[in-house]
Amino acid sequence: MKRIVILGGGFAGIYTASTLQKLFKKHRDQYEIVLVNRDNYFTYQPMLAEVVAGSIEILDSVSSLRSLLKHTTIYVREISNIDLKERTITLSPNFYHTDLNISYDHLVIALGNVTDFRKSPGGLHEHAFAFKTLKDAIKLRNHLIDVLESAAIEPDPQIRKQLLTFVIGGGGFSGVEIVAEINDLVRLYAKKYPSIIPNEIRVVLVHKKDRLVDKELSPSLGRYAEKLLKKRGIEIFFNTELTSATPQEAILSNQMRIASSTIVSTVPSTPNPLIEKLPLDQIKGKIKTDSFLRVSDSVWALGDCAAVPIFNSSELSPPTAQFAVRQGKCLAHNIFASCFGKELKPFSFKALGMMASLGYRTAIAELFGKIKLSGFIAWLFWRVIYWLKIPGTSRKVRIVFSWLLDMIIPQEFVQLKAEIHNGITHLHYAKGETIFRKGDIGDYLYIIVSGKVEILAVSNEKELQVATLGKGEYFGEMALLNQKKRNATVRCLEDTELLAIRKNDFQVLVTNFGNLREEFYKTEKERLEKKMPILNTGDILDFPKEDPPPHVRRG
């Protein structure tokens, strides 16, 4: 069977896969459609602001990939490498240390974009909330509830002021929608705390341009949004940027400092970092395609990660859902056509309009570049249009009931503190268990708390014990430093307790503490000088077919 692999489960990837399913219905014994995504669900991003506000339930904004794509093979994994020369995709390990390779005949890159703080100076990455994924929305909602709970019992007026101040950076669609929902939520639920006075709450929107939604909508609608948000108590700073953040304050480009425990940054998103490594022509980090969404004979690209020209136009497609949906349908047609020698269809589409919610059942909308709506009518139109676009009948029904209940029954103001992240993980292995094998991915540095392990060199399917490690010693660091796979197998000689540091956390340590990196290399050198090259478990060579070196005794 030939395989069509789609990378990414956003609007572009989903609609490409669903259209391919229909087109290849009679050819399922010849072609396999594969979709790779980090989550097993599709997130309907226009609804994320309502998740923060509690207008809809958390799961109402997502749909199961397996329900939407019943004739597509789903891989729920992170992508670690794309090899265009070998036509393979490498997926990161899950539960085990072994990666997974998928070959393809046609590759569709629909990786979308990611929130990128790399170009933002200061501590935005560490202290500002992003607003891109369902995880971001849940995390932000939990935090908002947390600060209100803390402010209600805080005796220090300065700390109380800091807790009740909310700063949002960016006045585009995302910034306007999230600042409106945050303002509605904190002012509504502050009423449940008798100790919180309404005028203590301060919500600030910072925008680098001189009007809101300046790229998306007309000046009149931008001014309407400004007037409405100010009327609801939101402060707006124009021609100013959120440049930095600390745990206690937001720092603006005009050197103003605002004491705040809640800072949200809607910084411009950038294409997925995987794309940077690909040997493809790019325009501002996006993969360059022709008007057929084709990159080469076997590679296609679309959505936010691609620079797709609009047929008979000098413009590129904007990164919006309505364009991604149409691109997916067009690309699926072109893959089908290329497989069966038919004519390809160029991508052509004109935007139908843009809409933004302003909370409290108000919105702004501009349709076909002529019709302008605002207030309740625009909000009603906004809900109907987005509801119609939600994939899946069951999801549509659930959201309608959530909206109806939201109008009748007061929302529950509760937290769901389910997120757990430990930079250091405690692991227990029993005697005889293998921690990792030769050829596995280097994903952890291990420190032995108690017990003993043996290091095994593998040659000609034989295992040779070349070293043992005990309490206080570590292994696995060189595979992480050198980005190599494991060159040895490690097995427990006793019940063993380990501390495991994840690869990403390890990289942060060695990047910021140069001496630590040098210390690891120094340890490697000392081990090599002692004729014990296996101790680092990341830089050992296979033994030849003949007898091993004299210093290595057979176990």
Q: Where in the chain is the domain with CATH 3.50.50.100?
A: 124-267+354-408
Q: Where in the chain is the domain with CATH 3.50.50.60?
A: 2-38+77-115+270-350
How high is the pLDDT of residue 14?
A: 95
Give the pLDDT confidence of 448-470 residue by residue, as tens digits: 999 999 988 887 778 888 888 99
The residues, any chain, with a CB within 8 Å of residue 549's CB and separated by 6 or more, are 531, 543
Give Cα 146 distance to the centre of its chain.
Answer: 24
Give Cα 503 distance to the centre of its chain.
Answer: 18
Mean pLDDT of 307-317: 88
Give the pLDDT confidence of 504-542 residue by residue, as tens digits: 888 878 777 767 777 777 776 776 565 444 444 444 433
At position 138, the amino acid (one-letter code) is: I
Q: Which CATH architecture group holds 2-38+77-115+270-350?
A: 3-Layer(bba) Sandwich (3.50)
pLDDT band at 481 (very low <50, low <70, confident <90, very high): confident
Q: What percent of the chain has pLDDT over 70?
A: 90
How high is the pLDDT of residue 380?
A: 87
Whole-model pTM? 0.80
Measured CA to CA in angstroms, residue 488 lies from 344, 495, 496, 523, 542 at distances of 50, 20, 18, 17, 9
pLDDT above 80 for 275: yes
Give the pLDDT confidence of 208-265 residue by residue, as tens digits: 999 998 877 888 888 999 999 999 999 999 999 988 888 888 889 888 999 999 999 8
Measured CA to CA in angstroms, residue 186 lies from 416, 417, 442, 497 at distances of 17, 19, 44, 45
> Which of 368-382, 405-419, 533-547 is the least confident region?
533-547
Average pLDDT for the chain: 85
Residue 360 is classified by DSSP as T
Give the pLDDT confidence of 184-203 residue by residue, as tens digits: 989 988 888 889 988 899 99
pLDDT above 60 for 553: no
Q: Which CATH class is domain 124-267+354-408?
A: alpha beta
* Per-range mean pLDDT, top range of 335-339, 369-373, 442-446: 335-339
**Please, is 547 exposed, middle or buried when counting C-beta atoms within 10 Å of its C-beta (0-12, 13-18, 19+)?**
exposed
Distance from C-alpha of 451 to C-alpha of 546, rounded to nearest angstrom:
33
How high is the pLDDT of residue 85?
A: 93
How high is the pLDDT of residue 530?
A: 53
* Superfamily (CATH) of domain 424-536: Jelly Rolls (2.60.120.10)
Q: What percent of the chain has pLDDT over 90?
A: 41
Q: Residues 344, 381: contact at Cβ < 8 Å?
A: no
Q: Where in the chain is the domain with CATH 2.60.120.10?
A: 424-536
